[in-house]
Amino acid sequence: MARQSRRVSFEIEILADIRQKIKKECVTMSNEIEMMTEQERELVNVPEAVEADTCIEQPELPEESSMQEETPANAAAEERPVKTTRRKKTAQAEETQAEVKLKRKRKTSEDVSETTEPEPEKQEKAGGKRAAQGVQVVSIDGHRTVETQEDKDRNDLLDLLESLRTGRILSGTIQGIERASDNQSLAVIYHGAFKVVIPAEQTVEAPEDYRDQSPADVFHYLLTKRLGAEVDYIVKGIDQEANVAVASRLEAMKAKRKQYYFGTDRDGNHILYPGQCAEARVVSVIRAGIFVDLFGLEIYIPLRELSYQRMMDASGYFRPGQRILVRVLDVDRTDRNNIKASASVKQATENPYEKALQRYTVDNRYVGTVSMVDTNGVFVALDGGVDCLCSYPKRGRPPRGARVTVRILGINRESNRIWGAITHISVPR
């Protein structure tokens, strides 16, 4: 009987220990459930609060009347189910707690996935929304006049699309020359964020004689000489994803020739005629002269028609992209496909000799700069845009750009000529 009482006391102690552990775990679960939101409680299907005692099953103690004397083997056999029951209850409590945590994590991750998006998609949608709606700008007087970057990009694209669909002529500066993989040269113009490329064959007219050079090298040289030039073009194709457009300059020049060389005013007169002054764009400069774009027609102007003063190199006075005033000397419209014209820069301005000759008198000395040296002598540029032809000084030929003193020996007002002698040379260091 005493042995049975000890066994019962041992079982009661074990059950009390199990009850205490389960009570602690239930308290922990109750705290976690209290921290859960209302939606999480509905997801997990748990009550608002859990009493610690409800998680513990009250052990049924054996009645003293039913106690019977058992052997040690029977006592050990009865102790094993008790230990197994304790393990099962502990495992069940741990599984319940793990399930609550897992469901809580799943609910949180689902809510986050619904309310948030991956960073690239989020940025892409935000960028598309901004592009569609535009930047909100508060204007000064209720009407915004300053363009945002989005406005500029949209307007640039509209310009290219309008040129592509209607043949509108656009203008730009040649900012680069590129060679493709097939050795074809391309002129590069930037229209906002778009890169406009013009093939060499659509930029300049093919020369009549390649002078034993390959056509690719000749076209590349002609494009290089036009770096920085302002040209017209018509768009022939657009790749909006790559921000690249293909254009033709020759087609734009043809449209301008038709408008200005065959167009007439209200009185029926041609817009361009001999003696008319017009604005031209310098597209290429060489030592002996310049090439200008006169409303779709490239015209060569030699040195003698550039200035009333003597020049040795036109590149020292002109550059591609420069706009100048010219006077039309002649226009031949006989062949509509081959218009010919000539122009002069110096004849577009007043002859400076008529006024400048009044500044100088014979046997007096004046300072000037050596502008040119040739077989005829030394040309000295005097103030007022006139040149004085001087013979070679005994002390040696002065270099171009040297500052000299000239004594005037004679003036011919009919031929607008001045000649003299160099008395002093100041060579620049």
Q: How far is CA 297 from CA 224, 231, 241, 280, in A?
A: 19, 11, 35, 10
The bridge status of strand 377-382 relative to strand 277-286 is: unpaired
| Per-residue pLDDT reduced to its tens digit, 146-177 | 878 888 899 999 999 999 999 999 999 999 99
pLDDT at 86: 56
**Cα distances (angstroms) measured from residue 205 to each of 298, 336, 408:** 9, 16, 49
Q: Quote the DSSP letter at residue 240.
A: T
- Which residue ranges does the chain devote to CATH 2.40.50.140? 149-254, 265-348, 361-426
In this structure, CATH architecture of domain 265-348: Beta Barrel (2.40)
Average pLDDT over residues 76-80: 47
Nearest-angstrom CA–CA distance, 278 and 267: 19
Phi, psi of 77, deg, nearest 5: -65, -30
pLDDT tens profile 40-50: 555 555 444 44
What's the CATH superfamily of 149-254?
Answer: Nucleic acid-binding proteins (2.40.50.140)
Give 334-381 as a DSSP string.
SSTTS-EEEEESGGGS--THHHHGGG--TT-EEEEEEEEEETTEEEEE
Strand partners, 342: 330
* Counts of helices then strands in the chain (DSSP H, E): 8, 16
pLDDT at 211: 83
> Which pLDDT score is estimated for 276?
92
Residue 220: pLDDT band with limits 50, 70, 90: very high
Secondary element (H or E) of residue 131: helix 119-133
pLDDT at 385: 83
Strand, coil or helix: 301 = strand
pLDDT, mean over the chain: 80
**Residue-level pLDDT at 286:** 95
Tell me the average pLDDT across 277-298.
96
Question: Which CATH number describes the domain made up of 361-426?
Answer: 2.40.50.140
pLDDT at 59 over 50: no
**Residue 104, pLDDT score:** 59
Global model pTM greater than 0.75: no
Residue 72 predicted with pLDDT over 60:
no
Cα–Cα dist 199/184, whole Å: 7
Q: Alpha carbon of 392 to those of 101, 296, 398, 399, 400: distances in Å?
A: 106, 45, 8, 11, 13
Q: Where do we find the tokens 């009407």?
A: 143
